[in-house]
Homo-oligomer: A and B are copies of this chain.
Amino acid sequence: MADTAIPQLNPPRRILMGPGPSDTHPRVLAALGAPTVGHLDPYFLQVMNETQSMLRQVFRTQNPLTLAVSGTGSAGMETCVVNLIEPGDKMVVCVNGVFGGRMADVAARAGAHVTTTEQLFGEVFSPEQISDVVHRVKPKVVGIVHAETSTGALQPLPEISKIVHEAGALLLVDTVTSLGGTAVEVDAWGLDAVYSGTQKCLSCPPGLAPVTFSPRAIAAIEARKTKVASWYLDMTLVRNYWGQDRAYHHTAPINMNYALHQALAIALEEGLEARFARHLRNHLALKAGLAALGLSYAVKEGQQLPMLNAVLIPAGVDDLKVRQQLLRDFGIEIGGGLGPMKGKTWRIGLMGETSSPRNVLLLLAALERCLGDQGAKFAAGAGVAAANEFYRQNA
């Protein structure tokens, strides 16, 4: 080994204003670095119980089967799909962005007969469209994305949930980007299988996937004729590990669970309603500032995510140059477009800890510099002034 230099770790301090991960609270970083205990240690069992209880509060559910899957948000998607779907089952997947498309792929691999219903990227689904497809297909499961991270659109769910249940199907929902940043009402809306990630509005590093399953979903799992295709994600095994039995399944990521525990505590200390209001307020302030710089949203008014601002890149402005300058000169990360939005949009995240007046003003100030360097025209200081004026009027 003597001839190879051994790399050292020395990460830079960024401000994470992309589509996730978001900034991490120092208390969460401290929790990550707390002493590792065994995964069957009485203390860790307590951490698991408390995490489940806090996740139920954040998901607004009484579902006993609520826990953190030992993988990232995409593993949460796969968990929900493979537990509900047996080979040959019919599933409708609503595709209006990259993550809906991914869900269709995951479902097909699980052996589902997948019917996709589509919308333009950036648009949302109407209850009528869902009604048409569920009555035509009569699926076992309907999958939909609440907050499409690839497009910045927020999908209303209550009416769709009613339609899906009246048709006898289960509703599977992606809340990766919405959970902790805007209302997610698992019980009130009647959602059956819901997954999220830790690195968006919960402001914990990526690595775990909160999931929750309704009694209806559990009945479907218990009625399966075949084993779940994935041993690792099989909820009939995982729930015995997180439940009273503590039956050994896999070794949970101890320190990642510490971090989620702490991040959930921070969210509950703030209070969910206050947290949602904060996300909305900073979103609106950023929006006022971006408008003053001549930037408009890629998503219709009324359907825009409060935690992820998808804006159109102005004509003549170089996507990559702006993002590179933001990162190099200011240590600020924003996201580019995904899929068909690549090169057309920026995705500016105001998620969890990142959502603050400080970051809104900083981003507007830095963006003015970068856009100005690209020859964009606006009144000097217009972005910051507009955001400050918004905050002043909405103090």
Instruction: State the interface size on chain A (CB cutoff 8 A).
Output: 81
What CA separation (Å) do A42 and B249 show in the bound complex? 36
* Contact indicator A12/B253 (Cβ below 8 Å): no
Select from chain B the residue with minimum beta-carbon distance to A4: B57
* Contact indicator B230/A230 (Cβ below 8 Å): yes
CB-CB contacts of A82-102 with B at 8 A, as 1s and 0s?
Answer: 000000000000000000001
Asked if A365 lies at the interface with its beta carbon under 8 angstroms from chain B, I say no
Copies of the polypeptide in the assembly: 2
* Contact indicator A232/B75 (Cβ below 8 Å): yes
Known contacts A7-B54, A57-B4: A29-B35 contact under CB 8 Å = yes
What CA separation (Å) do A53 and B4 show in the bound complex? 10
* Contact indicator B231/A229 (Cβ below 8 Å): no
**Residue in contact with A256 in the complex, picked from B12, B109, B249, B256, CB distance below 8 Å:** B256
**Residue in contact with A11 in the complex, picked from B13, B21, B35, CB distance below 8 Å:** B35
* Contact indicator A9/B261 (Cβ below 8 Å): yes
* Contact indicator B254/A206 (Cβ below 8 Å): yes
Residues in A205-245 with C-beta less than 8 Å from chain B: 205-207, 227-232
**Which B residues are CB-close (under 8 A) to A34?**
9, 11, 29
**Residue in contact with A268 in the complex, picked from B6, B13, B71, B327, CB distance below 8 Å:** B6
CB-CB contacts of A176-210 with B at 8 A, as 1s and 0s?
Answer: 00000000000000000000010100000111000
